[in-house]
Structure 1
């Protein structure tokens, strides 16, 4: 029995982290997004704008998934309602953070023309939305449902 406890600790601690790191590796950074779009014939700005729009759809899907899981969560109504309220507050704060962070990312373009600044902003939005969507899905992936 004493040999099983450390094994359970290792399995429950490190395997979720390993799977999270693997899944997170698929979320592209701003730089990777800009690099990927630099080869597009339609134009870098348009490509990044499309990636930002697609990430918004993905984020909305993840948010809907959270609400669906919380609605079906096998927990006392009091705690379900608390989680929903905190989720709503978290979403509002995320939007504030994303807007501020992407304004900063855009500002790092310095004296570049507006199109280049917009490209930095779209890449930032796409990355942060994608990371948030991944995070939300991961947070509710193990909730026991009714």
Structure 2
């Protein structure tokens, strides 16, 4: 029971730390501005950021899974954590899709390309925030 409480505190603390460090993570607006150097290439640039952020997220998930394998706890707690990570990852994918569809809808009557650019910037930001949260949690797990 103490271990479960400790893990809960570490995850909550990790989330708070991730929020403090979030100033290093570019926002949707900052991503769009960073890609605005070439009007013709904005969408391609944002698509690249979205793909890179997806790779960063997958790497963070793998790093967290590796940290759980090294975690000095009962096997049943490690198994529960792996299961909850899997459920959280699936929920994140659904949340990201809904959130970024909403973000794109804020463009109103803008042309489809502009709406897609908003969606891609949203995906990149959310992926980077989730990756940061996982990296923080992985650092907090003690082998």
Name the TM tier (shorter chain).
Answer: 0.7 to 0.9
String of CA shifts for 1:66-108, please: whole Å, max 9, x gaps: 1101111110001000101111000000000000000000111
Which one scores higher on RCO, CA 8 angstroms, separation ≥ 6? Answer: 2
**Does structure 1 residue 37 correspond to structure 2 residue 35?**
yes
Structure 2 matches for 1:11-30, cutoff 5 A?
Answer: 21=20, 23-30=21-28
C-alpha distance in 2, partners of 1:97/1:139?
20
- Per the alignment, residue 93 of structure 1 pairs with 91
**Does structure 1 residue 68 correspond to structure 2 residue 66?**
yes
Give the counterpart of 2:104 among 103, 106, 120: 106
String of CA shifts for 1:104-136, please: whole Å, max 9, x gaps: 001111111111011000000000000000001
C-alpha distance in 1, partners of 2:60/2:84?
16
CA contact (8 A) 1:40 1:47 kept: no
- Unmatched 5+ stretches in structure 1: 1-16
C-alpha distance in 1, partners of 2:38/2:63?
32
Question: TM-score, length-normalised on structure 1?
Answer: 0.83
Question: TM-score, length-normalised on structure 2?
Answer: 0.85
CA contact (8 A) 1:52 1:125 kept: yes
Q: Give the structure with higher Rg (CA).
A: 1
C-alpha distance in 2, partners of 1:138/1:144?
12
SS of 1:38 mapped into structure 2: coil
- Per the alignment, residue 124 of structure 1 pairs with 122
Determine which structure has the larger helix proportion and give its number. Answer: 2
C-alpha distance in 1, partners of 2:130/2:138?
13
- Unmatched 5+ stretches in structure 2: 1-15
Superposed CA RMSD in Å reads: 2.0
How many residue pairs are counted as aligned between the two chains? 130
- Offset, 1:40: 3.6
